[in-house]
Amino acid sequence: MTCNILLVEDSSTDAAIIMAAFKSIGYSGEIQIVRDGTEAIDFLGQAVLDNTNDLPKLILLDLNLPRKSGHEMLQDIKTNPKCQNIPVIVFSSSSRPVDIIKSYQLHANAYIVKPIILEDYKLTAQRIHDFWLKTVQLQLE
């Protein structure tokens, strides 16, 4: 089974780095990139309407997004019965305690600060893959 990832990231540079990190660890599943929270909610809504298995198995969510913030999107996901079981990892450059606390209050499954060193993205991708896509039993329905 292919584990799909929805990457919600407005920076094309960060998105490319994250994609390259997953590719470098041998991840061959589909990664769908959306550029803002509104586009992400539309993507999830369409998957629900299509009544297919197109819902992602994991969401990597940046916080600082145009149109709809990561926190607003997180609240929408976790209050939608069709999407609330999708694990959401906040993947942000912010290490501010207020952002971390608010993310967990909105039921984020994990909060990871983006690495500063480029090479550390591969290690982070490997850890996300090994835990969230290989180890954890996901219940998405």
Question: Consecutive 10-residue runs of the chain (141 residues): their mean pLDDT?
Answer: 79 96 93 92 83 82 93 94 93 97 98 94 96 82 54
Specify the 3-state DSSP secondary structure of 80: coil
Helix, strand, coil abundance in the chain, percent, nearest 5: 45, 15, 40
Q: Are 81 and 87 in contact (CB under 8 A)?
A: no
Which conformational region is residue 107 in: left (phi greater than 0), alpha (psi within -120 to 50 degrees), or beta? left
Closest CA to 32 of 43, 24, 23, 41: 43
Stated pTM of the model: 0.92
CA 82/CA 74 separation, integer angstroms: 14
Residue 138 pLDDT: 73
Residue 140 pLDDT: 57
CA 33/CA 119 separation, integer angstroms: 21
For residue 106, which amino acid is it?
Answer: L
Neighbours of 129 (CB within 10 A): 20
Residue 47 pLDDT: 81
Residue 141 pLDDT: 54
